[in-house]
Amino acid sequence: MSSADMKPITPEKETTIYEAPDPLELTSTFDQTRFTEESVMDGGSRSSRPVEAASRVAEVPKKKRDPRIILMAVLGVLALVVLPLMSIFTRQVVQTRNGATASPTPNVEATGNQSELEKRLILLEQDVATADPIQLDLAYPPVNFELDLLDATSKERLEQERSTRQR
């Protein structure tokens, strides 16, 4: 082996010289929440590592999600679930109010294979059911026909107050 073949031995990686940190800096960067016993158990390797350095190692580039997008996604999912349910519910309420589902009378169209007489009887059944006078009506508006706005010191007003107190 000639001297020309010999390559100078160069370190593959640049060695870094450990510099003792500033004691004041240490107090802020060292993980002070760890127990001394723990450092004994793991050979004291981790306890001596500054927290900042550890976090740098674990740092993986993460995409920060916009909270507005998350909020909108949640709202979208809620809308998908709630709106169809509301639709079903409101339709049922409307039908019940108008007696469409409450009436037990059969539907003429649903029974196509019936004789003329049977069809007439079914229609009559509907007419008789409609003629029930106790059927629920739309109630008269619950309005107050005794509203007024008197002068606070008028005789009429004071008499009103007196009579209410007596009652």
Binding region for other proteins (CB under 8 A): 66, 68-69, 72, 75-76, 79, 83-84, 86-87, 90-91, 94, 97-98, 115-118, 120-121, 123-125, 127-128, 130-134, 137-138, 140-153, 157, 161
Residue 133 CB, nearest approach to other proteins (Å): 4
Residue 20 CB, nearest approach to other proteins (Å): 49
Alpha-carbon distance 105 to 107, whole Å?
Answer: 7
Residue 109 CB, nearest approach to other proteins (Å): 14
Closer to other proteins by Cβ: residue 34 or 97: 97
Q: Which two tokens stand for residue 117?
A: 């007489």
Closer to other proteins by Cβ: residue 27 or 90: 90
Closer to other proteins by Cβ: residue 54 or 78: 78
Q: At 160, is the secondary structure helix, strand, or coil?
A: helix
Alpha-carbon distance 137 to 97, whole Å?
Answer: 10
Closer to other proteins by Cβ: residue 32 or 101: 101
Residue 14 CB, nearest approach to other proteins (Å): 44
Q: Which two tokens stand for residue 7?
A: 């390559």
Residue 113 CB, nearest approach to other proteins (Å): 13
Taking phi first (over 0 means left), then psi (-120 to 50 degrees means alpha), and beta for anything else, what does residue 43 get?
A: left
**Angle, alpha carbons 49-55-60 (nearest 5°):** 145
Q: How many CB atoms lie within 10 A of CB 157?
A: 14
Closer to other proteins by Cβ: residue 54 or 123: 123
Residue ranges of alpha helices (H) inside 4-142 are 23-29, 36-41, 51-58, 67-97, 116-130
